[in-house]
C-alpha cells in the first residue's frame, strides 16, 4: 500500500508517495491545478496499484482534485489544513 499525500495550492499541487510502514518517500510530483495535469498525476500514481490518497484542505484548494479522484474510483481521505506540517495518513513529516 502506498499513501499519496497531496499539498494543494491555488495554481499547483504537490503529491508525495509514501510507504507507510517505513514512512519512506518513494516519489513526488508537482502539477498545475488543471484537468490535464490531474490526468497526468493519476497516470503517475497508477504505478502503485494499491494506493490511497490523502488530500490536505479538501474543502479549499484541494476540493476539485479530491472530487475528481473520487469520481474515478480512487480512495481519498480528506485532511484538514496542516499549517506547516505534511501529514499523510496520520504520519507526520516536517517540511524543510
Determine the Cα–Cα distance for residues 33 and 82; give it in Å rounded to an integer. 19
Cell readout for 63 is 476540493
Check: pTM over 0.75? Answer yes or no.
yes
pLDDT tens digits, one per residue of 7-20:
999 999 999 999 99
Cell readout for 55 is 488530500
Say whether 63 sits in a helix, a strand or coil. Answer: helix
pLDDT bracket for residue 80 (50, 70, 90) = confident
Question: Can you list the domains of the chain with their CATH numbers?
Answer: 2-94 (3.30.420.10)
Cα 67 versus chain centre, distance: 12
Determine the Cα–Cα distance for residues 50 and 63; give it in Å rounded to an integer. 22
Amino acid at each position: 500500500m502506498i499513501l499519496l499525500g497531496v499539498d494543494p495550492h491555488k495554481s499547483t499541487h504537490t503529491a508525495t508517495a509514501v510507504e507507510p510502514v517505513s514512512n519512506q518517500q518513494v516519489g513526488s510530483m508537482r502539477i498545475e491545478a488543471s484537468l490535464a495535469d490531474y490526468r497526468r498525476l493519476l497516470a503517475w500514481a497508477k504505478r502503485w496499484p494499491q494506493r490511497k490518497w490523502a488530500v490536505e484542505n479538501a474543502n479549499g484548494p484541494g476540493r476539485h482534485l479530491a472530487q475528481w479522484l473520487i469520481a474515478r474510483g480512487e480512495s481519498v481521505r480528506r485532511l484538514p489544513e496542516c499549517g506547516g506540517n505534511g501529514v499523510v495518513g496520520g504520519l507526520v513529516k516536517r517540511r524543510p
